[in-house]
Amino acid sequence: MQLKYNFLRSTYNRLSNIFNIPLLLGCLLILNLFSMTGCDVKIEKKITENEKIRVVTTIGMITDIVKNIGGDRLEVIGMMGPGVDPHLYKPTAKDIERLSSANIIFYNGLHLESKMGDILERFSKNTKSVAVAEGVDKNLLLTPPEFDGQYDPHIWFDISLWIKAVEVVRDTLVAYNPESESTYAANTDQYILKLNELQKYVKTQSERVPTDRRILVTAHDAFNYFGNAYGFEVQGLQGMSTVTEAGIADVKELATFIAKRKIPAIFVESSVPVRSLEAVKAAVKSKGFDVQIGGELFSDAMGNEGTPEGTYIGMVKHNIDTIVSALIGKTAVEDSLSKEQ
Ligand SMILES: [Zn+2]
């Protein structure tokens, strides 16, 4: 026992002449801790040739871009379905799981997904994350006075800007997976052709409305880019975001505007509760003018999957058709109601 002790003691002394033992132990401990927590290793989720690239997106309009460009090469999961308000959406446990397994995350940015900011930032440390609207030239973005100097995030309402978001998605996919570049490029070209046709359609439809009747009143200020691109004056009951609810004063002010300008129709939005615009309609009535609810527009969310409005192109067509028919005459909704009676 004594012999063993002497041997250990002399070995320690010899080693301590060469190394600082406590320091060495400390270093080993720290290295061990790092390898246990993975602090020193950036988590890279590499894919193999046959494996699909997992892409997680926020709003439906972005999900649609990614599906159109990526085709079979990707597995795309959209977090926000029909009727979901991105300004208010908080991620679920399932979403966190999906984000954790994503190879690429696409979101709109410019504070659209305002309740997800921290989480998206956290994931961006280890996963390729791209805010498509933030990839668009800032000189093309709007900063309406009611936005307190911030950029308006609703860029999909101007098709020419949305084409730029499409290019951001293409460039990201090509950089991540250059082997499939030709597929992504061809799909993008095809999709942009369709979007250019859509642009022509929206312009032609808008021109059917006399200039003095091109006033669009909606539940929230989502349509500034639409107004800017297609020549409409735009008024929203709620501000740029739906986070702050409209008050009585806002309702009164908007009702006065509608009665004074004799605006025939106002529009509800699929992702914003109807009640606020019904209050406006009632307030307009009390001023002796009748305004119709011109129909439902898809603003910050698309329609149900499998319906025409469940795609970006279908949603835009639905919106312009609804706006034009309500502002120039009877709405499709009223037509169908009068047939039922
Ligand atoms: Zn919005």
Tell me the CA–centroid distance for residue 303 and ligand 1, in Å: 15
Please report the pLDDT score of residue 30 as a whole number.
42
Please report the pLDDT score of residue 33 as a whole number.
40
For the chain, which ranges sit under pLDDT 70? 1-46, 240, 243, 330-341
Please report the pLDDT score of residue 221 as a whole number.
87
Please report the pLDDT score of residue 35 as a whole number.
38
pLDDT (tens digit per residue) in 254-270 = 999 999 999 999 999 99
Please report the pLDDT score of residue 333 as a whole number.
47
What is the domain class of 53-142+152-203 according to CATH? alpha beta
Tell me the CA–centroid distance for residue 38 and ligand 1, in Å: 39
Tell me the CA–centroid distance for residue 85 and ligand 1, in Å: 7
- Per-domain boundaries in the chain: 2-37, 53-142+152-203, 209-340
Tell me the CA–centroid distance for residue 223 and ligand 1, in Å: 9
Tell me the CA–centroid distance for residue 101 and ligand 1, in Å: 28
With respect to CATH, is domain 209-340 assigned 3.40.50.1980?
A: yes
Tell me the CA–centroid distance for residue 156 and ligand 1, in Å: 11
Tell me the CA–centroid distance for residue 102 and ligand 1, in Å: 26
Tell me the CA–centroid distance for residue 58 and ligand 1, in Å: 13
* Whole-structure pTM value: 0.82
Q: Which residues pair with 297 in a beta bridge?
A: 269
Give ion ligand 1 contacts, CB < 5 A. 222, 300
Tell me the CA–centroid distance for residue 266 and ligand 1, in Å: 17
